[in-house]
Amino acid sequence: MEKHTIVIVEDDEITALNLKLSLQKHGYEIIAMCDNAAKAREKIDRYKPNIIIIDISLQESNDGIELAKTIRENYSIPFIYLTSHSDDDIIAQAIKTEPYGYIVKPFDPSSLHATIQMAIFKFDVENQRSEEIDASKIDDQSIEKLLYAKREADKPIIPFGDSYHIDISKDEIFYKNERVKLTKKENAILRLLIAKIGNVISFDQAIDYVWKDRGATENSIRTLVWRLRSKLPTDIIKNASGIGYYIEE
């Protein structure tokens, strides 16, 4: 098991020590123990731990919640609350900071370990999904770079299909050197397909690029592609059933 690093933020010395000993038995590395929010911010900034355990009420105040807000705003680190509170108002404030779990005092070592493992797992899954979403997003800048890399020598021309080319300097499509008149959206979807030629463009990617997430649906894309196909002299746009469209390389 990977040795995860933890910062404990707890102002009760005995509780903090018990936490440390229990966590060390489960293979965690305790890199700092802090009894106030200011010291915790310093240690978190220096060590960037894998996870943070925070007492909600540090020194009989809501400093734990304020610290959690700082972590949420400035660091990509999961945190878990340690609490003996059942006060609805305090719990409601704590929930707003979106913690990855709660540990109730007095804590059970097995439950503590399970809560930490679940928090780390949830955090990793969220990060992975976020990275996948970012990777799948297609914006104007990335399309420009892809098109620029595909141009012929120092010309703004990219051949594609059979007898087609796009002039990226004019943003116009040609078939056998005759310009094909397209609407702005038709031109955008074709431009996207050319930039990613040989790859399937999903409905979501097409919506994101052409409509900028402004209320379009899969049917919007299907209608747009249908109109585009009717204007192109040959059928170069292929279906990827239930997924999207592509142009063969």
- Domains of the chain, residue spans: 5-135, 140-247
The pLDDT value recorded for residue 99 is 93
Query: pTM surpassing 0.85?
Result: no
How far is the CA of 135 from the CAs of 57, 128, 132, 142, in angstroms?
Answer: 40, 10, 5, 11
| pLDDT single digits (tens) 171-213 | 899 999 999 999 999 999 999 999 999 989 988 889 888 988 6
The CATH code for residues 140-247 is 1.10.10.10
Q: What percent of the chain has pLDDT over 70?
A: 92
Cα–Cα distance measured from residue 212 to residue 129, given in angstroms and rounded to the nearest whole number: 20
Nearest Cα residue to 52 out of 6, 97, 19? 6
DSSP tag of 172:
E
Q: What is the torsional sign of CA 23, 114, 129, 95?
A: negative
Give how far Cα 18 sits from Cα of 8, 53, 105, 119, 230, Å: 11, 13, 11, 20, 72
Q: Mean of the per-residue pLDDT values for the chain?
A: 88
- The reported pLDDT for the residue numbered 69 is 92
Superfamily for the 5-135 domain: Response regulator (3.40.50.2300)
